[in-house]
Chains A and B, each alone.
Chain A
């Protein structure tokens, strides 16, 4: 449904990290933090490596988790596209990939958070990425 898959061994040679989305407070609703902790075994793995996911365009994205003293880990999250080092990003592809990543996240958070409500919110705000949702 979400077209996003975790990648265990991303190939980084010849790629660059391009920041595409940043979240300063991933635990604003604690169940979102818990989703990432579970998904990437952050309690055991901590900071040594990002989490990697493959999005619908085929692009690999690195999820870089941010810790802050006094706050549960992770406190923040940065999402980097990994394009070929000298190639510009395709903004429409990135936008659609991020939307797919959000749907994957909401499906994983679960409970009262439903992908249907995310899609409805996207439609309310007339996002083009929701046209096929």
Chain B
């Protein structure tokens, strides 16, 4: 079956990549696949898409690596289901698993950010024969406790509350616009080069469903959906022997490094870092090239090559 769905290239000089599509787990997933060498899989979260990694592709491919950047189902150029019930953490892990098996990714470095964390780590821990290393940025992989930010009514829980979420994040596209803007350091640069791209990729209220659905999957107590999967993630991550690099935004107020990078370090004591860069939650926007360089040097160390 042709999975292109008639969607073609984004006419944007910052994203000159050939769009590719696979049908995964019943959905049409967009991804790019550039370069040759050991694969590096770059995983975004809410409400971004592969564009978040636009400054990673060239330095990684220039260093002799294959770069795969999927758009999560519900975001970017991938299919956008119109019912909340279409989304689950397990389903998104299965979506990624389907893609990476179809394109036979082996020896992958999984670069995980935001919801790309629970999904990418879920893939890595259930497919260890296909993964060789982890890079973890501004995310989490345990059921409790949540970030202080995620416990607060204002603004987080109010923003995605019943009916408020579809209104604020759906009708008004609050997360891709103002939300991302507030979560970068250089807001002027973000507004000039990126904000309209993130807003434009989710043009209609119905296309923004996942922006208020993902926040509802963050466990706040033991009754949460996905609680058992997060328990499994934490348990398996403790056993992980993957070489791991932690990279965090110095100014991150959502998953602050003192709490979250420290917790990852406790779960994965052999992890390198945390290496702090300029950045709030969307640290790729402020320090894209720098983080790509850090990933190259990390992988060179694994390979025993000189950077």
Q: A residues touching B (Cβ–Cβ < 8 Å)?
A: 21-29, 32-33, 77, 79, 95, 98-99, 101-102, 105-106, 112-114, 117-118, 120-122, 124-127
Q: Are A118 and B164 interface neighbours, CB within 8 A? A: yes
Beta-carbon contact of A117 and B154 below 8 Å: yes
Contact of B154 among A28, A99, A120 (CB under 8 A): A120
Chain A residues whose C-beta falls within 8 Å of the C-beta of B85 in the assembled complex: 24
In the bound complex, residues from chain A placing their C-beta under 8 Å from that of B172 are 125, 127
Are A21 and B167 within 8 A (Cβ)? yes
Q: Across the interface, which residues of B come within 8 angstroms of A21, CB to CB?
A: 163, 166-167, 170-171
Which of the residues A24, A122, A125 comes within 8 Å of B179, measured between beta carbons?
A125
Q: Which B residues between 123 and 182 are near A, CB-CB below 8 angstroms?
A: 153-155, 157-168, 170-172, 174, 177-179, 182
List, in ascending order, chain A residues with CB within 8 A of B155's CB. 117, 120-121, 124-125
Nearest CB in chain B: distance from A123 CB, A: 10
Chain B residue numbers with a CB within 8 Å of A120 are 154-155
* Cβ-neighbour of A114 out of B153, B160, B166, B177 (below 8 A): B153
Given contacts A112-B153, A114-B153, A120-B154, contact A23 B163 (CB under 8 A): yes
Contact B158 A24 (CB under 8 A): no
- Most central of B157, B167, B170, B177 by chain A CB within 10 Å: B167
Whether A27 and B153, one on each chain, are in contact in the complex, defined by CB atoms closer than 8 angstroms, is no
11 A-B Cβ contacts within 8 A? A21-B167, A21-B170, A24-B83, A29-B157, A32-B161, A32-B163, A77-B163, A117-B154, A121-B154, A125-B178, A125-B179
B146 to chain A: closest CB distance in Å?
14
Decide if A95 touches B179 in the complex (CB within 8 Å).
Answer: no
Which A residues are in CB contact (< 8 Å) with B216? 25, 28
Q: Count chain B residues whose beta carbon lies closer than 8 angstroms to a beta carbon of A.
A: 27
From known contacts A21-B163, A32-B161, infer whether A95 and B178 are also in contact, taking CB-CB under 8 Å.
Answer: no
Interface core residue of A27, A77, A102, A114 (most chain B CB under 10 Å): A102
Across the interface, name the chain B residue whose C-beta is closest to A126. B178
Q: Name the A residues within 8 Å of B168 (CB-CB).
A: 121-122, 125, 127
Given B162, B167, B170, which contacts A28 in the complex, CB threshold below 8 Å?
B162
User: With A and B bound together, what is the CA distance between A33 and B179 in angstroms?
Assistant: 27
* A23 CB contacts on chain B under 8 angstroms: 162-163, 165-166
Nearest opposing residue in chain A for B160, CB measure: A28
Taking a contact as CB atoms under 8 Å apart, the answer to whether B163 and A26 are in contact is yes
Tell me, yes or no, whether B84 is within 8 Å of chain A by CB: yes
Inter-chain pairs besides A32-B162, A118-B158, 6 sampled, C-beta below 8 Å: A21-B171, A26-B162, A113-B153, A117-B154, A117-B158, A124-B155
- From known contacts A124-B178, A125-B168, infer whether A28 and B161 are also in contact, taking CB-CB under 8 Å: yes
Q: Which 4 residue pairs of A and B lie closest in terms of their CB atoms, listed nearest first?
A: A24-B84, A125-B174, A32-B162, A117-B154
Q: Which residues on A sit within 8 Å (CB–CB) of B162?
A: 23, 25-29, 32-33, 77
